[in-house]
Amino acid sequence: MAPLKIAIAGLGTVGGGTVHLLAQQAELLAARAGRPLQLTGCAALERPADLPLDGVPFFADARAMARDGDYDVLVELIGGSGGVALDVVTTALERGCHVVTANKAMIAHHGPKLARLAEAKGVAFGFEAAVAGGIPVIKALREGLAGNRLQQVYGILNGTCNYILTTMRETGREFSEVLAEAQSLGYAEADPSFDIDGVDAAHKLSILTSLAFGTTLDFAQVHIEGIRHVSALDIRFAEELGYRIKLLGIARRTESGIEQRVHPCMVPIASSIGRVDGVFNAVVAEGDFVGRTVFEGRGAGAGPTASAVAADIVDIAAGRHSPTFGVPADRLQPLQVAPMDDRCGEYYIRLMVLDQPGVFAEIAAALRDEQVSMEAILQRGRAPGETVPVVMTVHDTREAAMKRAIERIKAIRAVVEPPRLIRIEEF
């Protein structure tokens, strides 16, 4: 059988890893694909000297390769929601060529449009590598769990944040110090805001939401919070209460719509998600027939992401072809998002207050007025006239009521810092 011809746009960490994988695993891939895989083009600003690219046509302009190159599959590993990445993918699809990408931002913003174009041309648009690196969660949701009505999908979707939170817990150091270390080790970018502010996880969550519930992607409707405000003190109190703090992406079916949110959560230490540490990712899906399924592994890096790219390429070579989002793009249902104010659950609140008579009574009154019921209170030591931390957990409460209570508490003169609120998820 004729080889499957592959062109790679972008030769950074993932692109280089994919080139190495195609070379080192050539026999294995050919056996699993039923035909050889042949690299027939690559594009980058400069030709890397450390990659096995002898005899492979090189393009300094990825758009030119997409337009004029000789390929059956274009692998886009440039990144970014638009610009060159979107141009080369659109060009390849319009030529009637398959596309494989690791670009979660592009899919979150343009996925349905690109899926419709791929379907119109009768070609595949694969993005296994876009969510959770080497974990095969896209295929699992789209195909492996196709017989289930999913109730929720959630997980640790950003390894940088998980590394930072894990290291803060293990060392007792503060966020800024651990972030600087993560940057020095290459786990965080020079500008880490995409990761630590939750945007990267939100891109991935919007994709998982569409796959899990058969809805259109609506990145603008994801509630996003990052981890900048999580302190070593919060992490210590969480441990004392039996929880770990994780940045989670959560998509959940509710009576008022589908929740779609990214924010720090306290989860039980013994839960499947609570035990996932370091740079690892994890995704949990709950279906009506299968129950709970858990996927865990490395969510980034050259090897894991290249592994996911190769999985899509092998499917294309073998003629395995599923609709991009599990159903044809025109059959995706509008996403009805549940308002964040409707979220109901437990909460952790940390206050820094002046240790003086009457403070607890004022706090309790603020909670009582919004019908928020306290579950537990922690205060360690006394320091009359000085600032001390006070930690509370509250029973199931609607987000709107919790927000109103927090505003009341902020107005109390003895509360000297903005209250810290972290949602609790009892998975």
Give rounded-to-5 percent helix, strand, coil for the chain: 40, 25, 35
Q: Considering the entire predicted model, what is its pTM?
A: 0.95
Q: Return the CATH superfamily for domain 341-424.
A: ACT domain (3.30.70.260)
Class of CATH domain 137-298: alpha beta
The pLDDT of residue 358 is: 86
- Residues 70, 114, 99, 16, CA torsion sign: positive
Q: Check if the beta carbon of residue 76 is closer than 8 Å to that of residue 99.
A: yes
Query: Shortest CA distance to 128 belongs to which of 297, 274, 334, 332?
Result: 297
The alpha helices in 73-198, defined as continuous H runs, are 83-94, 104-121, 137-139, 159-171, 175-185, 193-196
Q: Check if the beta carbon of residue 238 is closer than 8 Å to that of residue 269.
A: no
Query: Shortest CA distance to 358 belongs to which of 404, 416, 418, 412?
Result: 412
What is the per-residue DSSP string for 386-427? SEEEEEEEEEEEEHHHHHHHHHHHHTSTTB-SPPEEEEE---
Q: Is 98 helix (H, G, I), strand (E, B) or coil?
A: strand
State the span(s) of the chain assigned CATH 3.30.70.260.
341-424
The pairing of strands 150-156 and 243-254 is: antiparallel
Q: What is the CA radius of gyration of the chain?
A: 24
Q: Which residues belong to the active site?
A: 204
Give the C-alpha separation, 177 to 371, whole Å. 39
- Residues 415, 269, 347, 200, CA torsion sign: positive
Burial category of 232 from C-beta neighbours within 10 Å (exposed 0-12, middle 13-18, buried 19 and up): middle
Q: Is 192 helix (H, G, I), strand (E, B) or coil?
A: coil
Give the C-alpha separation, 287 to 386, whole Å. 51
Number of residues assigned to the chain: 427
The pLDDT of residue 381 is: 66
State the span(s) of the chain assigned CATH 3.30.360.10.
137-298
State the span(s) of the chain assigned CATH 3.40.50.720.
4-130
**Residue 88 gets which letter from DSSP?**
H
Fold category of 4-130 in CATH: Rossmann fold (3.40.50)
Q: Which long-range CB contacts under 8 A does 20-26 form with residues at least 24 apart?
A: 20/51, 20/52, 20/302, 20/306, 21/303, 21/306, 21/307, 21/309, 21/310, 22/310, 23/52, 25/310
Query: Shortest CA distance to 389 belongs to which of 399, 381, 401, 400?
Result: 381
The pLDDT of residue 63 is: 98
Tens place of pLDDT per residue across the chain (427 aa): 899 999 999 999 999 999 999 999 999 999 999 999 999 999 999 999 899 999 999 999 999 999 999 999 999 999 999 999 999 999 999 999 999 999 999 999 999 999 999 999 999 999 999 999 889 999 999 999 999 999 999 999 999 999 999 999 999 999 999 999 999 988 888 899 999 999 999 999 999 999 999 999 999 999 999 999 999 999 999 999 999 999 999 999 999 999 999 999 999 999 999 999 999 999 999 999 999 999 999 988 899 999 999 999 999 999 998 899 999 999 999 999 999 999 999 999 999 999 888 888 999 999 999 999 999 888 876 677 788 899 999 999 999 999 999 999 999 999 999 999 999 999 8
Q: Which helix (H) or strand (E) holds 234?
A: helix 232-241
**Residue 305 gets which letter from DSSP?**
H
The pairing of strands 150-156 and 223-224 is: unpaired
Measured CA distances, 383 to 361, 371, 420 (Å): 18, 30, 21
Query: Shortest CA distance to 337 belongs to which of 239, 240, 219?
Result: 219
Query: Shortest CA distance to 22 belongs to which of 427, 303, 259?
Result: 303
